[in-house]
Each structure stands twice: as structure tokens, then as C-alpha cells.
């Protein structure tokens, strides 16, 4: 494993290498979800870059950015299990040499709902950094976890819109024993709150059952109602949308696939998750 703080030096290292290049973009505080992406990337590519960069432009709240967990020593320790990867750990100026500013993208409705609605500007920030990474390294494949399913859909739209050559590989969510989706933010959960977080995955599983007897609006209402009395849990949204285009429907149609999405605060910590319904 080699580490780089400069993208130019990293590209220099790759100058004479052949075969495919895979990218796993992360904000660090690596967990088993990230490791599963790196395993897939290393199994399928000759060269793999893992980036660790807490991208300031995708945080709509300064406090969220300040509180975002940082565990670089631990991350590097975990990455030692992958002797051939190239780890990119830039300073902000390597990626934002002039202004720390996001570009403005137009993804239609895709970035106006859910995370786009509750975290204004978030997807402009994500798209800016992902476009930068794709156009400095030109990876053949980039690996993203489905816990951030809306992000995956938007990055696919970004690739198409900007005519980028990278293929997006979306990978299944990795979960704790009680179903909680692996996230760097889980470690911010205060003791005593952690057990409350199980409601997130449970509500998604319940939605899978309820869809047999309800239409999408009824399903959203019924599941949301379960959160009224949930201790230490504040629901932000529970949505049932089409899987490919994130569109609302009044009725389920056998010809389409659907997905349920949730965001809530457990104490101070905001967590998201989703599940395929069909």
C-alpha cells in the first residue's frame, strides 16, 4: 500500500501501468461497508485507488462537518490488508486549488427530494468532488454503497450528463447484527441511543410486509406513524419511490420495482437507510 497527498504524484505512479483502474471514494472512518467495496474493487481491477477526503462542500451544516468522525490512523491500519492499493489522502488545496466551492448541477427532481430537500446543496457538493476525482484519475470503475442509494442514482446521472467514462458499480449495504446499516456516523451514537437505532431497519422490513396490502401513500403514512412515540428518534422522511427514477406513485404496479427510504435523527445523529421492496 502506498499513500499520496498529491493527485499528480499518484497519477505519476500509475503512468506506465496497464489494466483497469478502480476507485473507492470515501470520507474515511472506514468500516466493513467500505471494506466490502475495496474487496470488490481489488478483485476486479489491476489497480485500485482508495481516496480518503472529508469533502467540505457536501456539508450543509458547519457543525456536521466539524463533528464528522476522523480516524486516519485506524483507517490506514485497516488498509494494510490491501498491499497493492494506492491511498489518496489529499489536503483541501489538492482538490480545491482556487475556491472551496461546489458547482451547480441540474438533476431535475432527483436532487430536490429526500437528502436534497433536507440537506440543501448536498448533492452539488457530492457531484463536484466525484466529478473532480473522476477527471483527475479517470477510473474505469467506481464503487459506491447502496446505503446512499439516492447518491448512487445521482452519480450515475452525473456520469451521463458530463459524459464521463467511469462505470458506476453499486454494492449492497452491509449491516450490523441488528440490521443497522454500517455508516461512519454510527460511532457518533451515544450509548443508550444505539439500541434505538434498530427501528430504522425494522421499519424498512415492515414496509416490505405492508406493501402486500397497501398503496405507497398509505404505506408511507402507516410506517411514519410508528415513529410518533419512538423514544429518542425523530423521523425526517419515510418515502416509497420507484427504484430507478425515484418517482412517486399512487399505486404499486407489477411492472416496476420500488424502494423505501428513511432518514431520521437518533439523538443528535442523522442516519439514512433504504431497502428494495420488490
What are the backbone dihedrals phi and psi of residue 160, each rounded to the nearest 5 degrees, phi first? -70, -45
Smallest gap from Cβ 41 to ligand PAF, in A, equals: 14
The residue (of 27 and 219) whose beta carbon lies closer to ligand PAF is 27
d(C-alpha 144, C-alpha 33), whole Å: 10
The residue (of 28 and 216) whose beta carbon lies closer to ligand PAF is 28
Smallest gap from Cβ 44 to ligand PAF, in A, equals: 19
Alpha helix ranges (H) inside 119-194: 122-137, 149-161
Smallest gap from Cβ 199 to ligand PAF, in A, equals: 23
Using alpha carbons, select from 77, 26, 16, 76 the residue that is nearest to residue 46.
16
Alpha helix ranges (H) inside the chain: 7-14, 32-44, 62-67, 72-79, 92-95, 115-118, 122-137, 149-161, 198-210, 216-225
The residue (of 151 and 203) whose beta carbon lies closer to ligand PAF is 151
The residue (of 58 and 203) whose beta carbon lies closer to ligand PAF is 58
Respond yes or no: is residue 34 known to be catalytic: yes
Give the active site residue among 7, 31, 34, 201: 34
Smallest gap from Cβ 216 to ligand PAF, in A, equals: 27
- Residues near ligand PAF (CB under 6 A) are 25-27, 55, 58, 126, 129-130, 148, 151
For strands 2-4 and 21-26, give the pairing.
unpaired
* 93: helix, strand or coil: helix
Catalytic residues: 34
Amino acid at each position: 500500500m502506498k499513500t499520496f497527498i498529491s493527485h499528480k504524484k499518484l497519477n505519476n505512479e500509475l503512468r506506465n501501468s496497464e489494466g483497469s483502474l478502480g476507485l473507492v471514494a470515501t470520507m474515511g472512518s472506514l468500516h466493513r461497508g467500505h471494506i466490502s467495496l475495496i474487496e470488490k474493487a481489488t478483485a476486479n481491477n489491476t489497480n485500485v485507488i482508495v481516496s480518503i477526503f472529508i469533502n467540505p462542500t457536501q456539508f450543509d451544516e458547519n457543525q456536521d462537518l466539524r463533528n464528522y468522525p476522523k480516524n486516519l490512523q485506524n483507517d490506514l491500519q485497516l488498509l494494510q490488508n490491501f498491499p497493492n492499493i494506492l491511498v489518496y489522502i489529499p489536503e483541501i488545496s489538492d482538490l480545491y486549488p482556487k475556491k472551496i466551492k461546489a458547482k451547480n448541477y441540474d438533476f431535475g427532481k432527483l436532487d430536490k427530494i429526500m437528502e436534497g430537500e433536507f440537506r440543501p446543496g448536498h448533492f452539488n457538493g457530492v457531484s463536484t468532488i466525484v466529478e473532480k476525482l473522476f477527471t483527475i484519475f479517470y477510473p474505469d470503475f467506481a464503487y459506491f454503497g447502496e446505503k446512499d442509494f439516492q447518491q448512487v442514482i445521482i452519480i450515475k446521472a452525473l456520469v451521463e450528463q458530463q459524459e464521463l467514462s467511469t462505470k458506476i458499480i453499486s454494492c449492497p449495504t452491509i449491516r450490523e447484527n441488528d440490521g443497522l446499516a454500517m455508516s461512519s456516523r454510527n460511532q457518533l451514537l451515544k450509548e443508550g441511543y444505539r439500541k434505538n437505532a434498530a427501528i430504522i431497519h425494522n421499519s424498512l422490513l415492515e414496509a416490505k410486509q405492508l406493501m402486500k396490502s397497501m398503496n405507497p401513500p398509505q404505506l408511507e403514512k402507516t410506517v411514519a406513524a410508528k415513529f410518533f412515540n419512538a423514544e429518542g428518534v425523530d423521523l425526517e422522511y419515510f418515502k416509497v419511490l420507484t427504484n430507478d427514477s425515484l418517482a412517486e406513485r399512487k399505486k404499486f404496479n407489477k411492472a416496476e420495482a420500488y424502494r423505501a427510504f428513511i432518514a431520521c435523527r437518533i439523538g443528535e445523529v442523522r442516519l439514512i437507510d433504504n431497502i428494495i421492496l420488490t
